[in-house]
Amino acid sequence: MFPLPPPVLAHNAASRPLTLSLPRASPFATSAPLSCKNHKLSGAAVDASDPETNRAGLRADKYTDGLRLNKDWAANTARDHPELFPTLATGQKPQILWLGCSDSRCPETSMLGLQPGDVFVHRNIANIMHPGDLSSGAVIEYAVKYLGVKHIVVCGHTSCGGVAAAMGNKELGILDPWLLPLRQVRERNLSLLQSLSDEEAALKLVELNVREGLSVVTQKSAVLNAIQERGLQVHGLIYDVASGVLRELDIQETEDSLKHRLLAFKTE
Amino acid sequence: MNRLIRPSLDAIFKKNKEWVATKTNADPAFFDKLSAGQSPDYLDSRVPANEIMGLEAGEVFVHRNIANLVPNVDLNVMSVINYAVRHLHVKHIIVCGHYNCGGVKAALTSADLGLLNPWLRNIRDVYRLHEQELDAIKEDDKRYNRLIELNVIESCRNIIKTAAVQQSYENNQYPIVHGLVFDLRDGLLRDLEVDFESMLQDVKKIYCLSPGSKTE
């Protein structure tokens, strides 16, 4: 409808094969050198983008499986927990707000061994908490004020693609402004990160990002009020995708630091 | 005050350990395989994506927000779509709503919800787009539930407006965008049977960002 000038997008160049196989130097690669050598993020994606397999079998795949397995899951869940669906249909009273990464290897409800209805969830790229982001802001506001959650968890994880990207310097379009807070943390901790091996530095940035996320969350007045008035707890966790185990960060803060936070951020 | 923010998730960690043990017993290589990479799909919902689809960790890339909205200017959801399509090469994008959604009901009440107003206003916009159809539904619950379906379909449309989806589909014939609604009463997913091809053609009349492709 709208005539546009010739494409300038590199991947539309006629001379290049139009496959989407992951480049070897993917900015998100969490395989070597940023992680263990056996962490091949690109493996599955490269196979799946083989042109031969693109069309055939696209519909007979995980999506079709998922819709079929949903019927089994619903029947089994209704059998094992007969009260669950009738209760869920009347409303939700989750105790936990989970702020985690979109990464498919981090299924929060499964890894916690909990049930539907237990965890209110927001997941985004690299579990980044932007102070002005309306999406996560609305989730936190709703969970704290209207659902009255007792715990807020910010959870990062090992071999995080977003962290790997922020440790590199490749331009990524719309992802760049999203990853900005990660780069800010990188800048503030540059000498520490440079003193570490690539793998250690990536893991350190995962941890620093969780701490930064918690800092942003606890700058919100709704959260500060709930901490003071009803004992809302905040937690920082790191999930190890290679073992399935959650590790809790020590996020104790001094009385002084807390006092400053309340002075600067609490509104009535 | 420190007492209040001191971590105490013992029960959770116990459950997590049980889950790890269960997974490892059933498949000793489970976590090794997981750490070797992900080939996920993408799902947005207020219900646990993996569990309801009976899929394992590593199979579904997930973004969840209030009322499964895909606002055109939300950097958060746009980053997720971009990453999932251009870097993970997902084959399917699922928008999943659920009936009896409190968020949608809240969006239609005449109340000032402060910070939530701008986010929930997107749902009111969907109502305005389908005002005649919705107004004709007399029963409140049925009208809400139809709005939930229309909201899912609108999110599908917004996903299809992105350059990442249009270009990837042109070059690879994926991802395909689906609209589902989860029914909390029985745990079943209902496919709204969004006709992806025809919605794509329709969207591209105005929102075409893949200059190599043809619009009809």
Quick one: pLDDT band at residue B166, thresholds 50, 70, 90?
very high
Phi then psi dihedrals of residue B180, to 5 deg: -125, 155
The pLDDT of residue A60: 52
CB contact under 8 A, A141 and B116: yes
Give the whole-angstrom CA distance, residue A29 versus residue A39: 9
Quick one: pLDDT band at residue B34, thresholds 50, 70, 90?
low
Give the whole-angstrom CA distance, residue B192 versus residue A67: 12
Residue B12, in any domain of the structure: no
How many other CB atoms are found less than 10 A from the CB of residue B142?
A: 11
Give the whole-angstrom CA distance, residue A99 versus residue A105: 15
CB contact under 8 A, A135 and B171: no
Q: Which two tokens stand for residue B88?
A: 């993970």
Give the whole-angstrom CA distance, residue A218 versus residue B77: 23
Q: Which of residues 188-217 of A touch B (CB under 8 A)?
A: none
Phi then psi dihedrals of residue A117, to 5 deg: 100, -15
Give the whole-angstrom CA distance, residue B81 versus residue B164: 8
The pLDDT of residue B33: 63
Residue A58 touches chain B, beta carbons under 8 Å: yes
Give the whole-angstrom CA distance, residue B43 versus residue B52: 11
Residue B13, in any domain of the structure: no
CB A167 within 8 A of CB A126: no
Least CB-CB distance to B82: which of A7, A133, A175?
A175
- Give the count of alpha carbons within 13 A of B178, CB side only: 26
Quick one: pLDDT band at residue B43, thresholds 50, 70, 90?
very low
How far B136 CA sits from the closest chain A CA (Å)?
25
Least CB-CB distance to B7: which of A1, A231, A248?
A248
Cα separations in angstroms, B188 against A74, A148, B183: 6, 28, 5
Give the whole-angstrom CA distance, residue A116 versus residue A118: 6
Concerning whether A198 is annotated as a catalytic residue, the answer is no
Q: Which of B16, B17, B167 has the most A C-beta neighbours within 10 Å, making it the best mutation to test the interface with A?
A: B16
Q: Which of B8, B27, B32, B39 has the most A C-beta neighbours within 10 Å, making it the best mutation to test the interface with A?
A: B39
Which secondary-structure segment (H or E) carries B101? none
Residue B18, in any domain of the structure: no
Low-confidence winner among A50-59, B49-58, B136-145 (lowest mean pLDDT): A50-59
A110 vs B contacts (CB less than 8 Å)? 19, 48, 50-51, 57
Residue B35, in any domain of the structure: no
Beta strands in B83-216 (DSSP E): 92-98, 176-183, 188-191
| Per-residue three-class SS string for chain A | CCCCCCCCCHHHCCCCCCCCCCCCCCCCCCCCCCCCCCCCCHHHHHHHCCHHHHCCCCCCCHHHHHHHHHHHHHHHHHHHCCCHHHHHHHCCCCCEEEEEECCCCCCHHHHCCCCCCCEEEEEEHHHCCCCCCHHHHHHHHHHHHHCCCCEEEEEEECCCHHHHHHHCCCCCCCHHHHHHHHHHHHHHCHHHHHCCCHHHHHHHHHHHHHHHHHHHHCCCHHHHHHHHHHCCEEEEEEEECCCCEEEECCCCCCHHHHHHHHHHHCCC
Q: Which two tokens stand for residue A261?
A: 């936070």
> What is the extent of the structural domain holding B186?
41-207
How far B195 CA sits from the closest chain A CA (Å)?
14
Give the whole-angstrom CA distance, residue A161 versus residue A136: 20
Residue B20, in any domain of the structure: no
CB A165 within 8 A of CB A172: yes
How far B129 CA sits from the closest chain A CA (Å)?
22
Residue A133 touches chain B, beta carbons under 8 Å: yes
Domain CATH for B77? 3.40.1050.10
Q: Which of B27, B76, B159 has the most A C-beta neighbours within 10 Å, making it the best mutation to test the interface with A?
A: B76
B116 vs A contacts (CB less than 8 Å)? 138, 141-142
- Interface predicted TM-score (ipTM) of this complex, two decimals: 0.81
Q: List Cβ neighbours of B22 (8 Å cut-off, separation of 6 or more).
A: none
Catalytic residue among A103, A106, A122, A186: A103
Q: Which two tokens stand for residue B10?
A: 């013992």
Q: Please say if the pLDDT value at position B205 is more than 70.
A: yes
Residue B15, in any domain of the structure: no
Residue of A nearest to B214 (CA): A1
Cα separations in angstroms, B68 against A36, B65, B143: 35, 6, 18
**pTM, to two decimals:** 0.81
Residue A88 touches chain B, beta carbons under 8 Å: yes
Quick one: pLDDT band at residue B19, thresholds 50, 70, 90?
low
Q: What is the pLDDT along chain A (268 residues), one digit of tens a residue?
A: 444 444 443 343 333 333 333 344 577 776 433 333 333 333 333 344 444 444 445 545 888 888 899 999 999 999 999 999 998 888 889 999 999 999 999 999 999 999 899 999 999 999 999 999 999 999 999 999 999 999 999 999 999 999 999 999 999 999 999 999 999 999 999 999 999 999 999 999 999 999 999 999 999 999 999 999 999 999 999 999 999 999 999 998 888 998 999 999 999 8
On the 0-12 / 13-18 / 19+ scale of CB atoms within 10 A, A61 is middle
Concerning whether A36 is annotated as a catalytic residue, the answer is no
| Average pLDDT value over all residues in chain B | 84
Give the whole-angstrom CA distance, residue B166 versus residue B160: 7
A120 bridge partner residues = A97
Give the whole-angstrom CA distance, residue A122 versus residue B46: 9
Residue A168 touches chain B, beta carbons under 8 Å: no
Q: What is the number of structural domains in chain B?
A: 1
Higher-pLDDT residue of B135, B45: B135
Give the whole-angstrom CA distance, residue A101 versus residue A108: 9
A239 bridge partner residues = A157, A246
CB B82 within 8 A of CB B165: no
Residue B46, in any domain of the structure: yes
pLDDT in tens, B80-99: 999 999 999 999 999 999 99
Q: Is B174 helix (H, G, I), strand (E, B) or coil?
A: coil
Q: Which domains does chain A have, with CATH numbers?
A: 34-91 (no CATH), 92-268 (3.40.1050.10)
How far B19 CA sits from the closest chain A CA (Å)?
6
How far A243 CA sits from the closest chain B CA (Å)?
6
Which secondary-structure segment (H or E) carries B109? none
Give the whole-angstrom CA distance, residue B64 versus residue B98: 13
3-state helix, strand, coil in chain B (%, to 5): 55, 10, 35
Give the whole-angstrom CA distance, residue A245 versus residue B24: 12
CB A142 within 8 A of CB A87: no
Residue B168, in any domain of the structure: yes
